[in-house]
Amino acid sequence: MPAIDLARLKTQAAGLADKFGQPDAFIASLNEILDFYTNRTYRLTQIVRRYSIPAYQTPRPVLRQIQSELNPLARSRPVEAVMLTRALWEAGSLESRLLAASLLGSIPSVHAVPALTRLPEWLSRSTEREVRQALLSNALERLRRENPDTFFTILENWLASPRPSWQIWGMQALIPLLQEPDFENLPAVFRILRPALKAAGPTTQLDLQACISALEQVSFIETLAYLRENLSDNPPLLLVRTLRRIMPGLSPQLQAGLRETMRAQGENNSKP
């Protein structure tokens, strides 16, 4: 791999942006750039990550520079951006799919919503965790900010699905929202999360743990109250077991609050 010459990279990325409205030509030029920066030499002691889809092993600064050229075009030429997003996805490499997620998240939400209907299909076909994370975070970035009602509607459908994989998508997509410094709408999150919480089991427990931890960072008091509420109304035995399993991964304060609630619940259930 040649050393990254920033001036040269900027020129290459700008030339790529000139083909924004020509998906086939764009993909061909993109592959040339990705191949140019491929690291073909690895030290014997270096562990090379193996991907389940083709990957150029292109350094992330190269992708970031390309993204910086594409983002303004996504805002000013949204129809062409949607077409390019689809072409990038179908190109099938790790890098092209990461760029597809980034580009989709830069398109104004009014134009992006129809394209976002493809997310379940794309997520189902995504065997790479890095790609799934990009789809659930980067691809939804502007929608979270500009059209929260539609964002919550999408996640509500996923979290209410009987499919554990869809519930996992919903919980993973909630975390970037909860990590935004100005986020405050916990009641909406509690509402749409409830079906997945009630159905929590071994398949979804790690993602539920991550989601609860993110909720606690927004408000410990409200998160504990929410969990206590769900435990107080004849909770499914599977939910109680799942919370006990994930408890060691939660904060000591939340663990203490949940143990107290479960202990009191057990005492009440044992009374004649």
pLDDT in tens, the chain (272 residues): 557 888 999 999 999 999 999 999 999 999 999 999 886 554 333 345 567 788 988 888 999 999 999 999 999 999 999 999 999 999 999 999 999 999 999 999 999 999 999 999 999 988 899 999 999 999 999 999 999 999 999 999 999 999 999 999 999 999 999 999 999 899 999 999 999 999 999 999 999 999 999 999 999 999 999 999 999 878 888 999 999 999 999 999 999 999 999 888 765 554 44
Give one word for 234, left, alpha or beta, with left for phi > 0 and alpha for psi -120 to 50: left
User: Rounded to an integer, what distance in angstroms lies between the CA atom of residue 109 and that of residue 141?
Assistant: 9
Q: pTM of whole model > 0.75?
A: yes
Contacts of 230 (CB under 8 A, 6+ apart): 194, 197, 198, 239
